[in-house]
Structure 1
Amino acid sequence: MPTLLLSSLFPLVFIMVLGWLSGKLGYTRREDASVLATVVIRFALPLHLFMGALKTDPEKIQNLPFMAVLVFGLMGSWLLALLISRFVFRHDIKTSAIQSLVCAFPDMAYFGAPVLAVLIGPEGFLGVLIGNLITSVLMIPLTIMLIRMGEKGSESEAVSLGSMIAANLFKAVRNPIVWIPILGVLLSLSGLKIPALLESPIEMMGKTAGGISLFALGLLFYGERPAFNIHTLTNISIKNLIQPALMVAAGLAVGLSHTFMQQVVIIGATPSAIAAGMFAIRSDTYVESASSSILLGTALGIVTEGIMIYLVS
Structure 2
Amino acid sequence: MLNVICSAMGPIIFVLAIGFFCGKKNYFSEEATQAFASFVVNIALPLALFLAAATVSPNVLLNGKYFLSIAVGLIVTFIIGLLCSRLLFKHNTKDSAGQALAVSFPDMAYCGPPVLLATVGSSGLISMVIGNIIYTVIIIPVVMLLLSRDTGNVSIISTLKSAVQKPLVILPVLGAILAISGIKLPKIVYDSVDEAGKCAGGVALFFLGLMIARIKLKANTEIIFNVFIKNFLQGALILGTGLLLGLDHELLKAAFVIGFLPTATAVPAICITSKAYVENSASTVLLSTLCSFVTIIIGIIIIETCL
TM-score (norm 1): 0.93
How far 1:270 moved relative to its partner? 0.9
C-alpha contact (below 8 Å) 2:147/2:276 kept by paired residues: no
Q: Where does residue 197 of structure 1 map in the other structure?
A: 188
In 2, Cα distance between the equivalents of 1:206 and 1:99?
A: 25
C-alpha contact (below 8 Å) 1:8/1:118 kept by paired residues: no
- Greater mean alpha carbon deviation, residues 50-59 or residues 103-112: 50-59
Q: 1:285 aligns with which of 267, 276, 293?
A: 276
In 2, Cα distance between the equivalents of 1:37 and 1:170?
A: 22
Q: Where does residue 302 of structure 1 map in the other structure?
A: 293
**Alpha-carbon RMSD:** 1.5
In 2, Cα distance between the equivalents of 1:7 and 1:278?
A: 24
In 1, Cα distance between the equivalents of 2:42 and 2:118?
A: 29
Gaps of 5+ in 1: 158-163
Report SS of the residue matched to 1:226. Answer: coil
Q: How does 1:208-247 map to 2 (within 5 A)?
A: 208-247=199-238
How far 1:31 moved relative to its partner? 4.5
Q: Give 2:47's aligned amino acid.
A: L
In the comparison of the two structures, how many residue pairs are matched?
304
Q: Give 2:147's aligned amino acid.
A: I
Q: Deviations over 1:236-286 (max 9, x none)?
A: 111111111111221111111221221222111111111111111111121
Q: Deviations over 1:32-68 (max 9, x none)?
A: 2221111111111111111112222111222111111
Q: 1:261 aligns with which of 252, 276, 281?
A: 252
C-alpha contact (below 8 Å) 1:30/1:222 kept by paired residues: no
In 1, Cα distance between the equivalents of 2:223 and 2:73?
A: 20
In 1, Cα distance between the equivalents of 2:162 and 2:246?
A: 38
In 1, Cα distance between the equivalents of 2:262 and 2:31?
A: 24
In 2, Cα distance between the equivalents of 1:152 and 1:263?
A: 42
C-alpha contact (below 8 Å) 1:173/1:179 kept by paired residues: yes
In 1, Cα distance between the equivalents of 2:75 and 2:151?
A: 24
C-alpha contact (below 8 Å) 1:18/1:218 kept by paired residues: yes
Q: Give 1:172's aligned amino acid.
A: A
- Greater mean alpha carbon deviation, residues 257-266 or residues 39-48: 257-266
In 2, Cα distance between the equivalents of 1:95 and 1:7?
A: 33
How far 1:168 moved relative to its partner? 2.3
C-alpha contact (below 8 Å) 1:236/1:293 kept by paired residues: yes
Q: Where does residue 251 of structure 1 map in the other structure?
A: 242
Q: Where does residue 134 of structure 2 map in the other structure?
A: 134
Q: Where does residue 160 of structure 1 map in the other structure?
A: none
Gaps of 5+ in 2: none
In 2, Cα distance between the equivalents of 1:80 and 1:184?
A: 29
In 1, Cα distance between the equivalents of 2:157 and 2:292?
A: 37
How far 1:165 moved relative to its partner? 3.2
TM-score (norm 2): 0.94
C-alpha contact (below 8 Å) 1:82/1:100 kept by paired residues: yes
Q: Does 1:180 align with 2:189?
A: no
Q: Where does residue 43 of structure 1 map in the other structure?
A: 43
Q: Where does residue 8 of structure 2 map in the other structure?
A: 8
Q: Give 2:215's aligned amino acid.
A: E
